[in-house]
Chain A
Protein backbone atom coordinates (compact mmCIF):
# COMPACT_ATOMS: atom_id res chain seq x y z
CA UNK A 1 0.00 0.00 0.00
CA UNK A 2 1.43 3.38 -0.99
CA UNK A 3 1.60 6.35 1.36
CA UNK A 4 1.13 4.05 4.32
CA UNK A 5 2.56 6.41 6.92
CA UNK A 6 0.60 9.32 5.52
CA UNK A 7 -2.64 7.32 5.67
CA UNK A 8 -1.98 6.35 9.27
CA UNK A 9 -1.20 9.96 10.17
CA UNK A 10 -4.50 11.13 8.65
CA UNK A 11 -6.36 8.36 10.47
CA UNK A 12 -4.89 9.42 13.81
CA UNK A 13 -5.50 13.11 13.19
CA UNK A 14 -9.16 12.51 12.36
CA UNK A 15 -9.75 10.27 15.35
CA UNK A 16 -8.26 12.65 17.92
CA UNK A 17 -11.03 15.35 18.07
CA UNK A 18 -13.94 13.03 19.00
CA UNK A 19 -11.80 11.29 21.59
CA UNK A 20 -10.74 14.65 23.00
CA UNK A 21 -14.37 15.85 23.17
CA UNK A 22 -15.44 12.64 24.83
CA UNK A 23 -12.67 13.08 27.40
CA UNK A 24 -13.81 16.69 27.94
CA UNK A 25 -17.43 15.63 28.36
CA UNK A 26 -16.61 12.89 30.84
CA UNK A 27 -14.38 15.15 32.93
CA UNK A 28 -16.75 18.11 32.86
CA UNK A 29 -14.64 20.40 30.67
CA UNK A 30 -17.47 21.05 28.23
CA UNK A 31 -19.67 22.94 30.69
CA UNK A 32 -23.14 22.17 32.02
CA UNK A 33 -24.60 21.05 28.68
CA UNK A 34 -21.95 18.64 27.34
CA UNK A 35 -24.42 16.78 25.12
CA UNK A 36 -25.27 19.91 23.17
CA UNK A 37 -21.61 20.88 22.86
CA UNK A 38 -20.75 17.37 21.59
CA UNK A 39 -23.56 17.47 19.01
CA UNK A 40 -22.50 20.93 17.80
CA UNK A 41 -18.81 20.01 17.66
CA UNK A 42 -19.48 16.77 15.79
CA UNK A 43 -21.70 18.53 13.28
CA UNK A 44 -19.14 21.23 12.63
CA UNK A 45 -16.37 18.63 12.54
CA UNK A 46 -18.28 16.67 9.90
CA UNK A 47 -18.68 19.79 7.75
CA UNK A 48 -14.97 20.60 8.06
CA UNK A 49 -14.09 17.00 7.10
CA UNK A 50 -16.40 17.25 4.10
CA UNK A 51 -14.65 20.43 2.99
CA UNK A 52 -11.23 18.80 3.49
CA UNK A 53 -12.37 15.76 1.48
CA UNK A 54 -13.48 18.02 -1.33
CA UNK A 55 -10.17 19.87 -1.24
CA UNK A 56 -8.17 16.70 -2.04
CA UNK A 57 -8.87 16.68 -5.80
CA UNK A 58 -7.96 20.35 -6.39
CA UNK A 59 -4.83 19.86 -4.27
CA UNK A 60 -3.85 16.88 -6.37
CA UNK A 61 -4.45 18.82 -9.56
CA UNK A 62 -2.19 21.63 -8.43
CA UNK A 63 0.56 19.61 -6.81
CA UNK A 64 0.34 16.32 -8.76
CA UNK A 65 0.98 14.49 -5.50
CA UNK A 66 -0.95 11.23 -5.30
CA UNK A 67 -1.11 11.29 -1.50
CA UNK A 68 -4.11 13.61 -1.56
CA UNK A 69 -6.22 11.11 -3.48
CA UNK A 70 -4.91 8.24 -1.35
CA UNK A 71 -6.62 9.67 1.76
CA UNK A 72 -9.74 11.04 0.06
CA UNK A 73 -11.95 8.01 0.69
CA UNK A 74 -10.76 7.74 4.26
CA UNK A 75 -11.61 11.39 4.89
CA UNK A 76 -15.05 10.93 3.36
CA UNK A 77 -15.67 7.98 5.65
CA UNK A 78 -14.49 10.00 8.64
CA UNK A 79 -17.03 12.66 7.69
CA UNK A 80 -19.67 9.92 7.66
CA UNK A 81 -18.52 8.63 11.06
CA UNK A 82 -18.74 12.13 12.57
CA UNK A 83 -22.26 12.50 11.15
CA UNK A 84 -23.31 9.15 12.67
CA UNK A 85 -21.99 10.33 16.06
CA UNK A 86 -23.65 13.74 15.55
CA UNK A 87 -27.01 12.02 14.96
CA UNK A 88 -26.59 9.62 17.87
CA UNK A 89 -25.77 12.58 20.10
CA UNK A 90 -28.88 14.41 18.90
CA UNK A 91 -31.10 11.39 19.59
CA UNK A 92 -29.54 10.82 23.01
CA UNK A 93 -28.89 14.30 24.40
CA UNK A 94 -31.32 16.62 22.58
CA UNK A 95 -34.30 14.33 22.05
CA UNK A 96 -33.59 12.34 25.22
CA UNK A 97 -34.20 9.13 23.26
CA UNK A 98 -37.88 10.03 22.88
CA UNK A 99 -38.83 8.60 19.51
CA UNK A 100 -41.93 10.77 19.15
CA UNK A 101 -39.77 13.91 19.43
CA UNK A 102 -37.39 12.65 16.75
CA UNK A 103 -40.26 11.81 14.42
CA UNK A 104 -41.87 15.19 14.98
CA UNK A 105 -38.61 16.97 14.26
CA UNK A 106 -38.21 14.87 11.12
CA UNK A 107 -41.65 15.75 9.86
CA UNK A 108 -41.80 19.41 10.90
CA UNK A 109 -38.42 21.07 10.97
CA UNK A 110 -36.82 22.12 7.71
CA UNK A 111 -33.27 22.11 9.07
CA UNK A 112 -33.69 18.59 10.44
CA UNK A 113 -35.22 17.42 7.15
CA UNK A 114 -32.34 18.96 5.19
CA UNK A 115 -29.84 17.35 7.57
CA UNK A 116 -31.57 13.98 7.23
CA UNK A 117 -31.44 14.23 3.42
CA UNK A 118 -27.73 14.95 3.58
CA UNK A 119 -27.30 11.94 5.86
CA UNK A 120 -29.17 9.65 3.44
CA UNK A 121 -26.88 10.88 0.66
CA UNK A 122 -23.81 10.26 2.81
CA UNK A 123 -25.05 6.72 3.58
CA UNK A 124 -25.31 5.97 -0.14
CA UNK A 125 -21.74 7.17 -0.64
CA UNK A 126 -20.41 5.33 2.40
CA UNK A 127 -21.87 1.94 1.45
CA UNK A 128 -20.57 2.26 -2.11
CA UNK A 129 -17.10 3.39 -1.09
CA UNK A 130 -15.59 -0.11 -1.28
CA UNK A 131 -13.69 -1.55 -4.26
CA UNK A 132 -16.41 -4.06 -5.01
CA UNK A 133 -19.00 -1.30 -5.52
CA UNK A 134 -16.62 0.73 -7.64
CA UNK A 135 -16.08 -2.23 -9.95
CA UNK A 136 -19.71 -3.25 -9.92
CA UNK A 137 -21.18 0.21 -10.61
CA UNK A 138 -18.60 1.15 -13.20
CA UNK A 139 -19.49 4.48 -14.75
CA UNK A 140 -22.52 4.94 -12.55
CA UNK A 141 -20.25 5.06 -9.51
CA UNK A 142 -18.78 8.37 -10.53
CA UNK A 143 -22.22 9.82 -11.23
CA UNK A 144 -23.45 8.59 -7.86
CA UNK A 145 -20.51 10.10 -6.01
CA UNK A 146 -21.19 13.49 -7.55
CA UNK A 147 -23.94 13.51 -4.92
CA UNK A 148 -21.29 14.85 -2.58
CA UNK A 149 -21.75 18.32 -4.08
CA UNK A 150 -25.46 18.26 -3.26
CA UNK A 151 -24.62 16.96 0.22
CA UNK A 152 -22.30 19.91 0.80
CA UNK A 153 -25.06 22.36 -0.18
CA UNK A 154 -27.54 20.59 2.11
CA UNK A 155 -25.06 20.61 4.97
CA UNK A 156 -24.44 24.34 4.54
CA UNK A 157 -28.19 24.99 4.48
CA UNK A 158 -28.59 22.83 7.60
CA UNK A 159 -26.00 24.98 9.38
CA UNK A 160 -27.44 28.27 8.09
CA UNK A 161 -30.83 27.41 9.57
CA UNK A 162 -29.28 26.78 12.96
CA UNK A 163 -27.58 30.19 13.09
CA UNK A 164 -29.40 32.57 15.41
CA UNK A 165 -27.69 35.91 15.34
CA UNK A 166 -24.24 36.00 13.78
CA UNK A 167 -23.56 34.89 10.22
CA UNK A 168 -19.78 35.38 10.28
CA UNK A 169 -18.78 31.79 10.96
CA UNK A 170 -21.27 30.34 8.52
CA UNK A 171 -20.14 32.72 5.77
CA UNK A 172 -16.55 31.50 6.18
CA UNK A 173 -17.56 27.87 5.62
CA UNK A 174 -19.92 28.79 2.79
CA UNK A 175 -17.14 30.73 1.07
CA UNK A 176 -14.72 27.80 1.31
CA UNK A 177 -17.42 25.36 0.14
CA UNK A 178 -18.37 27.63 -2.77
CA UNK A 179 -14.73 27.94 -3.82
CA UNK A 180 -14.28 24.15 -3.74
CA UNK A 181 -17.40 23.69 -5.87
CA UNK A 182 -16.24 26.35 -8.36
CA UNK A 183 -12.98 24.44 -8.76
CA UNK A 184 -15.02 21.57 -10.19
CA UNK A 185 -16.01 23.62 -13.22
CA UNK A 186 -13.91 22.22 -16.06
CA UNK A 187 -12.49 25.59 -17.09
CA UNK A 188 -11.39 26.37 -13.53
CA UNK A 189 -10.02 22.85 -13.04
CA UNK A 190 -8.02 23.14 -16.28
CA UNK A 191 -6.66 26.51 -15.19
CA UNK A 192 -5.64 25.03 -11.86
CA UNK A 193 -3.77 22.20 -13.57
CA UNK A 194 -1.97 24.59 -15.90
CA UNK A 195 -1.05 26.88 -13.01
CA UNK A 196 0.24 23.86 -11.09
CA UNK A 197 2.29 22.70 -14.07
CA UNK A 198 3.70 26.19 -14.59
CA UNK A 199 4.62 26.39 -10.94
CA UNK A 200 6.37 23.03 -11.04
CA UNK A 201 8.41 24.05 -14.08
CA UNK A 202 9.32 27.56 -12.93
CA UNK A 203 8.72 27.61 -9.22
CA UNK A 204 9.94 31.18 -8.75
CA UNK A 205 8.46 32.91 -11.76
CA UNK A 206 4.78 32.49 -11.05
CA UNK A 207 2.76 35.67 -10.91
CA UNK A 208 -0.88 35.88 -10.10
Chain B
Protein backbone atom coordinates (compact mmCIF):
# COMPACT_ATOMS: atom_id res chain seq x y z
CA UNK B 1 0.00 0.00 0.00
CA UNK B 2 1.30 3.43 -0.81
CA UNK B 3 1.17 5.70 2.21
CA UNK B 4 1.52 9.37 1.42
CA UNK B 5 2.81 11.47 4.28
CA UNK B 6 2.43 15.14 3.41
CA UNK B 7 5.46 17.24 4.41
CA UNK B 8 4.79 19.54 7.31
CA UNK B 9 5.31 22.66 5.19
CA UNK B 10 2.37 21.79 2.95
CA UNK B 11 -0.63 23.80 4.01
CA UNK B 12 -3.80 21.86 4.76
CA UNK B 13 -7.12 23.09 3.46
CA UNK B 14 -8.38 23.33 6.97
CA UNK B 15 -5.66 25.75 7.90
CA UNK B 16 -6.82 29.25 8.44
CA UNK B 17 -5.23 31.79 6.14
CA UNK B 18 -3.40 34.46 8.12
CA UNK B 19 -4.84 37.90 7.85
CA UNK B 20 -1.79 39.36 6.13
CA UNK B 21 -2.02 36.79 3.37
CA UNK B 22 -5.73 37.33 3.09
CA UNK B 23 -5.19 41.05 2.69
CA UNK B 24 -2.56 40.60 0.00
CA UNK B 25 -4.79 38.10 -1.82
CA UNK B 26 -6.53 40.73 -3.84
CA UNK B 27 -3.24 41.95 -5.22
CA UNK B 28 -2.24 38.45 -6.17
CA UNK B 29 -5.59 37.78 -7.78
CA UNK B 30 -5.26 40.94 -9.83
CA UNK B 31 -1.83 39.78 -10.88
CA UNK B 32 -2.98 36.30 -11.87
CA UNK B 33 -6.00 37.67 -13.66
CA UNK B 34 -3.75 40.01 -15.58
CA UNK B 35 -1.56 37.05 -16.42
CA UNK B 36 -4.49 34.97 -17.55
CA UNK B 37 -5.75 37.85 -19.64
CA UNK B 38 -2.36 38.24 -21.23
CA UNK B 39 -2.10 34.56 -21.90
CA UNK B 40 -5.47 34.65 -23.61
CA UNK B 41 -4.18 37.22 -26.06
CA UNK B 42 -1.41 35.65 -28.10
CA UNK B 43 -0.06 39.02 -29.19
CA UNK B 44 0.51 40.03 -25.59
CA UNK B 45 1.76 36.71 -24.30
CA UNK B 46 5.35 37.84 -24.31
CA UNK B 47 4.65 40.99 -22.34
CA UNK B 48 6.23 41.06 -18.94
CA UNK B 49 4.23 40.31 -15.85
CA UNK B 50 4.20 43.62 -14.06
CA UNK B 51 1.51 43.97 -11.48
CA UNK B 52 1.99 40.66 -9.68
CA UNK B 53 4.63 42.20 -7.45
CA UNK B 54 5.27 45.86 -6.83
CA UNK B 55 8.11 47.73 -8.53
CA UNK B 56 9.32 44.84 -10.66
CA UNK B 57 11.60 46.01 -13.44
CA UNK B 58 10.12 45.06 -16.80
CA UNK B 59 12.12 42.59 -18.84
CA UNK B 60 12.15 40.94 -22.21
CA UNK B 61 12.00 37.22 -21.60
CA UNK B 62 13.07 34.58 -24.11
CA UNK B 63 10.32 32.66 -25.90
CA UNK B 64 10.77 29.43 -23.93
CA UNK B 65 10.02 31.35 -20.75
CA UNK B 66 6.92 33.16 -21.98
CA UNK B 67 5.46 29.94 -23.39
CA UNK B 68 5.59 28.33 -19.96
CA UNK B 69 4.56 31.31 -17.91
CA UNK B 70 0.92 31.14 -18.98
CA UNK B 71 0.49 27.70 -17.42
CA UNK B 72 2.37 28.48 -14.21
CA UNK B 73 0.88 27.34 -10.91
CA UNK B 74 1.08 30.46 -8.79
CA UNK B 75 1.96 30.24 -5.10
CA UNK B 76 2.42 26.46 -5.17
CA UNK B 77 4.41 26.86 -1.97
CA UNK B 78 4.16 29.94 0.21
CA UNK B 79 6.04 31.18 3.25
CA UNK B 80 3.40 31.58 5.90
CA UNK B 81 3.48 34.82 7.84
CA UNK B 82 6.48 36.18 5.91
CA UNK B 83 6.50 39.32 3.83
CA UNK B 84 8.21 39.11 0.49
CA UNK B 85 11.48 41.02 0.11
CA UNK B 86 11.12 44.02 -2.24
CA UNK B 87 12.24 43.24 -5.80
CA UNK B 88 14.84 46.00 -5.74
CA UNK B 89 16.55 44.53 -2.66
CA UNK B 90 16.51 40.97 -3.99
CA UNK B 91 18.11 42.16 -7.23
CA UNK B 92 20.58 44.76 -5.89
CA UNK B 93 21.99 43.01 -2.85
CA UNK B 94 23.61 39.84 -4.16
CA UNK B 95 26.55 37.55 -3.70
CA UNK B 96 27.69 36.47 -7.16
CA UNK B 97 31.47 36.67 -6.93
CA UNK B 98 31.89 36.10 -10.66
CA UNK B 99 30.82 39.74 -10.96
CA UNK B 100 32.76 41.08 -7.94
CA UNK B 101 32.69 40.66 -4.17
CA UNK B 102 30.63 43.78 -3.40
CA UNK B 103 26.90 43.32 -2.82
CA UNK B 104 26.13 45.82 -5.58
CA UNK B 105 28.68 44.44 -8.05
CA UNK B 106 26.41 41.76 -9.57
CA UNK B 107 23.64 44.27 -10.36
CA UNK B 108 26.23 46.68 -11.80
CA UNK B 109 28.18 44.15 -13.87
CA UNK B 110 25.85 41.29 -14.80
CA UNK B 111 24.20 43.21 -17.65
CA UNK B 112 26.89 41.94 -20.02
CA UNK B 113 26.20 38.28 -19.26
CA UNK B 114 25.15 36.47 -22.44
CA UNK B 115 22.19 34.25 -21.50
CA UNK B 116 20.95 33.52 -25.01
CA UNK B 117 21.68 30.99 -26.39
CA UNK B 118 22.39 28.87 -23.31
CA UNK B 119 23.32 25.22 -23.10
CA UNK B 120 23.83 22.90 -20.16
CA UNK B 121 26.21 19.96 -20.34
CA UNK B 122 24.69 16.91 -18.66
CA UNK B 123 27.18 14.12 -18.10
CA UNK B 124 28.37 11.39 -15.77
CA UNK B 125 26.13 8.62 -14.50
CA UNK B 126 23.05 9.41 -16.61
CA UNK B 127 21.23 7.50 -19.29
CA UNK B 128 20.62 10.61 -21.42
CA UNK B 129 23.88 12.55 -21.38
CA UNK B 130 24.54 15.41 -23.75
CA UNK B 131 24.54 19.13 -24.30
CA UNK B 132 21.00 20.39 -23.72
CA UNK B 133 19.71 23.74 -24.83
CA UNK B 134 17.86 25.57 -22.09
CA UNK B 135 14.70 25.21 -24.19
CA UNK B 136 15.00 21.42 -24.17
CA UNK B 137 15.69 21.31 -20.46
CA UNK B 138 12.70 23.46 -19.59
CA UNK B 139 10.15 22.25 -22.14
CA UNK B 140 8.93 19.06 -20.39
CA UNK B 141 8.18 20.81 -17.09
CA UNK B 142 5.32 22.99 -15.93
CA UNK B 143 6.29 26.16 -14.08
CA UNK B 144 5.31 26.72 -10.51
CA UNK B 145 5.91 29.57 -8.13
CA UNK B 146 7.48 28.88 -4.77
CA UNK B 147 7.99 31.49 -2.10
CA UNK B 148 11.06 30.43 -0.18
CA UNK B 149 13.11 31.91 2.61
CA UNK B 150 16.73 32.41 1.51
CA UNK B 151 19.26 32.34 4.36
CA UNK B 152 22.76 33.51 3.47
CA UNK B 153 25.70 32.08 5.39
CA UNK B 154 26.60 35.71 6.18
CA UNK B 155 23.57 35.85 8.51
CA UNK B 156 21.14 37.86 6.38
CA UNK B 157 18.01 36.51 4.78
CA UNK B 158 15.26 37.33 2.29
CA UNK B 159 11.93 35.88 1.15
CA UNK B 160 11.79 35.40 -2.61
CA UNK B 161 9.08 34.15 -5.00
CA UNK B 162 10.86 31.86 -7.46
CA UNK B 163 9.53 30.49 -10.74
CA UNK B 164 10.70 27.16 -12.04
CA UNK B 165 10.29 23.44 -11.57
CA UNK B 166 11.51 20.76 -9.14
CA UNK B 167 15.10 19.63 -9.59
CA UNK B 168 13.82 16.06 -9.27
CA UNK B 169 11.88 16.50 -12.55
CA UNK B 170 15.01 17.59 -14.37
CA UNK B 171 16.96 14.67 -12.95
CA UNK B 172 14.26 12.19 -14.00
CA UNK B 173 14.44 13.71 -17.49
CA UNK B 174 18.17 12.93 -17.79
CA UNK B 175 17.87 9.60 -15.97
CA UNK B 176 20.47 8.99 -13.25
CA UNK B 177 21.94 5.49 -13.41
CA UNK B 178 22.20 3.27 -10.36
CA UNK B 179 25.81 4.38 -9.87
CA UNK B 180 24.79 8.01 -9.40
CA UNK B 181 25.03 9.15 -5.78
CA UNK B 182 25.73 12.89 -6.00
CA UNK B 183 24.88 15.76 -8.32
CA UNK B 184 27.60 18.23 -9.22
CA UNK B 185 26.81 21.68 -10.63
CA UNK B 186 29.08 24.17 -12.36
CA UNK B 187 28.66 27.89 -13.08
CA UNK B 188 29.68 29.56 -16.32
CA UNK B 189 33.30 30.65 -16.77
CA UNK B 190 33.49 33.79 -18.91
CA UNK B 191 36.25 36.14 -17.66
CA UNK B 192 35.51 38.60 -20.44
CA UNK B 193 32.03 39.26 -19.09
CA UNK B 194 32.62 38.25 -15.47
CA UNK B 195 35.08 40.73 -13.96
CA UNK B 196 35.38 38.79 -10.69
CA UNK B 197 36.97 35.94 -12.60
CA UNK B 198 39.70 38.34 -13.78
CA UNK B 199 40.78 39.34 -10.27
CA UNK B 200 44.33 38.24 -9.56
CA UNK B 201 43.75 38.01 -5.80
CA UNK B 202 40.61 35.91 -5.78
CA UNK B 203 40.80 32.84 -3.60
CA UNK B 204 38.25 31.08 -5.81
CA UNK B 205 39.40 28.53 -8.34
CA UNK B 206 36.82 28.99 -11.12
CA UNK B 207 34.42 27.55 -12.11
CA UNK B 208 32.20 27.77 -9.05
CA UNK B 209 31.19 24.23 -8.10
CA UNK B 210 28.36 23.05 -5.89
CA UNK B 211 26.86 19.69 -5.13
CA UNK B 212 24.05 17.77 -3.48
CA UNK B 213 23.60 14.19 -2.39
CA UNK B 214 21.22 12.52 -4.85
CA UNK B 215 18.49 12.08 -2.23
CA UNK B 216 18.78 15.78 -1.31
CA UNK B 217 18.56 16.69 -4.98
CA UNK B 218 15.46 14.48 -5.40
CA UNK B 219 13.73 16.10 -2.41
CA UNK B 220 10.57 17.88 -3.58
CA UNK B 221 11.77 21.19 -2.08
CA UNK B 222 14.96 21.31 -4.21
CA UNK B 223 14.13 23.64 -7.08
CA UNK B 224 15.47 24.81 -10.42
CA UNK B 225 14.57 28.47 -10.86
CA UNK B 226 14.34 30.29 -14.19
CA UNK B 227 12.36 33.27 -12.93
CA UNK B 228 11.46 35.30 -9.87
CA UNK B 229 8.80 37.87 -8.99
CA UNK B 230 6.70 36.66 -11.91
CA UNK B 231 9.36 37.42 -14.51
CA UNK B 232 12.48 35.87 -15.99
CA UNK B 233 15.55 35.73 -13.69
CA UNK B 234 17.63 38.91 -13.74
CA UNK B 235 21.22 38.13 -14.70
CA UNK B 236 22.57 39.03 -11.26
CA UNK B 237 20.26 36.44 -9.70
CA UNK B 238 21.70 33.60 -11.76
CA UNK B 239 20.02 33.71 -15.16
CA UNK B 240 19.00 31.70 -16.98
CA UNK B 241 19.02 28.64 -14.71
CA UNK B 242 19.89 28.37 -11.04
CA UNK B 243 19.42 26.04 -8.13
CA UNK B 244 17.37 26.96 -5.05
CA UNK B 245 17.81 24.75 -1.98
CA UNK B 246 15.90 26.60 0.73
CA UNK B 247 17.07 24.57 3.73
CA UNK B 248 20.73 25.21 2.98
CA UNK B 249 22.82 28.38 3.11
CA UNK B 250 22.50 30.50 -0.01
CA UNK B 251 25.91 29.63 -1.45
CA UNK B 252 24.63 26.10 -2.18
CA UNK B 253 22.07 27.58 -4.57
CA UNK B 254 24.46 27.84 -7.51
CA UNK B 255 23.74 30.34 -10.28
CA UNK B 256 23.98 30.43 -14.08
CA UNK B 257 24.48 26.67 -14.36
CA UNK B 258 26.28 25.32 -17.43
CA UNK B 259 27.01 21.78 -16.30
CA UNK B 260 25.17 19.15 -14.30
CA UNK B 261 27.04 15.90 -13.63
CA UNK B 262 25.83 12.84 -11.82
CA UNK B 263 28.76 11.33 -9.99
CA UNK B 264 29.36 8.61 -7.45
CA UNK B 265 31.64 10.55 -5.12
CA UNK B 266 30.92 13.77 -3.24
CA UNK B 267 32.16 16.65 -5.41
CA UNK B 268 34.58 19.11 -3.78
CA UNK B 269 32.60 22.33 -3.65
CA UNK B 270 34.17 25.75 -4.14
CA UNK B 271 33.74 26.94 -0.54
CA UNK B 272 34.95 23.63 0.87
CA UNK B 273 38.12 24.08 -1.13
CA UNK B 274 38.70 27.65 0.10
CA UNK B 275 37.94 27.08 3.79
CA UNK B 276 36.98 23.50 4.72
CA UNK B 277 36.74 24.40 8.42
CA UNK B 278 34.15 27.07 7.65
CA UNK B 279 32.03 25.64 4.86
CA UNK B 280 31.06 22.00 4.72
CA UNK B 281 29.50 19.99 1.91
CA UNK B 282 26.08 19.95 3.57
CA UNK B 283 25.81 23.62 4.67
CA UNK B 284 22.36 23.05 6.15
CA UNK B 285 20.98 26.11 7.91
CA UNK B 286 21.57 25.33 11.56
CA UNK B 287 21.38 27.90 14.38
CA UNK B 288 23.29 25.55 16.68
CA UNK B 289 26.38 25.23 14.52
CA UNK B 290 28.16 28.57 14.19
CA UNK B 291 30.37 29.65 11.37
CA UNK B 292 33.81 29.87 13.01
CA UNK B 293 33.84 33.63 12.45
CA UNK B 294 30.27 34.55 13.32
CA UNK B 295 27.14 33.28 15.00
CA UNK B 296 24.41 31.55 12.99
CA UNK B 297 21.87 31.81 15.80
CA UNK B 298 20.21 34.91 14.35
CA UNK B 299 19.81 36.58 10.99
CA UNK B 300 19.05 40.03 9.64
CA UNK B 301 15.87 39.73 7.62
CA UNK B 302 16.26 42.27 4.83
CA UNK B 303 15.36 45.01 4.41
CA UNK B 304 16.62 45.77 7.90
CA UNK B 305 16.06 49.40 8.78
CA UNK B 306 18.73 51.46 10.49
CA UNK B 307 16.50 52.41 13.39
CA UNK B 308 14.51 49.20 13.41
CA UNK B 309 17.11 46.46 12.90
CA UNK B 310 15.23 43.35 11.82
CA UNK B 311 17.22 40.71 13.71
CA UNK B 312 15.31 37.42 14.02
CA UNK B 313 16.14 33.92 15.26
CA UNK B 314 17.41 31.49 12.65
CA UNK B 315 15.39 28.28 12.36
CA UNK B 316 16.70 24.74 11.97
CA UNK B 317 16.82 23.85 8.25
CA UNK B 318 15.66 27.45 7.70
CA UNK B 319 12.20 26.35 8.86
CA UNK B 320 11.94 23.44 6.37
CA UNK B 321 11.92 20.69 8.99
CA UNK B 322 10.52 18.12 6.57
CA UNK B 323 14.05 17.59 5.22
CA UNK B 324 15.26 16.34 8.62
CA UNK B 325 14.76 12.70 7.53
CA UNK B 326 17.53 13.14 4.98
CA UNK B 327 19.97 13.56 7.84
CA UNK B 328 18.61 11.03 10.32
CA UNK B 329 21.40 9.65 12.47
CA UNK B 330 23.97 12.17 11.19
CA UNK B 331 25.95 14.38 13.57
CA UNK B 332 25.16 17.76 12.03
CA UNK B 333 27.88 19.49 14.03
CA UNK B 334 30.37 17.25 12.25
CA UNK B 335 28.70 17.24 8.84
CA UNK B 336 28.06 20.99 8.71
Where the two chains meet, the residues of A that have a C-beta atom closer than 8 Å to any C-beta of B are 25-26, 31-36, 38, 92-96, 98, 101, 104-105, 108-111, 161-162, 164-168, 171
Contacts and interface: CB of A to CB of B under 8 A. Distances in A.
Interface in B296-317: 297-298, 300, 302-306, 309, 311
B293 A109 contact: yes
Interface of B: 85-86, 89, 92-93, 97, 101, 103-104, 155-156, 196, 199-204, 274, 290, 292-295, 297-298, 300, 302-306, 309, 311
A62 B200 CA distance: 34
B298 A96 contact: yes
Contact of B297 (A25, A101, A167): A101
Nearest to A109: B293
A109 B292 contact: yes
A170 to B, nearest CB: 8
A92 B199 contact: no
B67 to A, nearest CB: 33
B199 A166 contact: yes
For the residues of A in contact with B, the DSSP-based class is helix
A94 B204 CA distance: 27
Nearest 9 A/B pairs, CB to CB: A96-B311, A168-B201, A32-B89, A32-B303, A32-B302, A167-B201, A25-B306, A166-B101, A34-B306
A26 B101 CA distance: 24
B101 A32 contact: no
Which of B155, B201, B203 has the most C-beta atoms of chain A within 10 angstroms of its own C-beta?
B201
Contact of A167 (B203, B303, B306): B203
A164 B250 CA distance: 15
B295 A101 contact: yes
Contacts of B155: 94
B304 A93 contact: yes
Given A36-B156, A36-B300, A166-B199, A96 B290 contact: no
Nearest to A26: B306
For the residues of B in contact with A, the DSSP-based class is loop
B300 A166 contact: no
A32 B85 contact: yes
Contacts of B300: 33, 35-36, 93-94
B185 to A, nearest CB: 18
B304 A31 contact: no
A26 B200 CA distance: 36
Given A33-B303, A98-B298, A171 B103 contact: no
Contact of B201 (A32, A34, A92, A166): A166
A165 B97 contact: yes
Contacts of A26: 306
Given A32-B93, A165-B203, A166-B199, A109 B306 contact: no
Given A92-B309, A165-B274, A171-B201, A33 B101 contact: no
24 contacts: A32-B85, A32-B86, A33-B103, A33-B304, A34-B305, A35-B300, A35-B306, A38-B306, A93-B300, A93-B309, A94-B300, A96-B309, A96-B311, A105-B294, A108-B290, A109-B292, A110-B293, A162-B293, A166-B196, A167-B202, A167-B203, A168-B199, A168-B200, A171-B201
A94 B274 CA distance: 25
B97 A166 contact: yes
Nearest to B86: A32
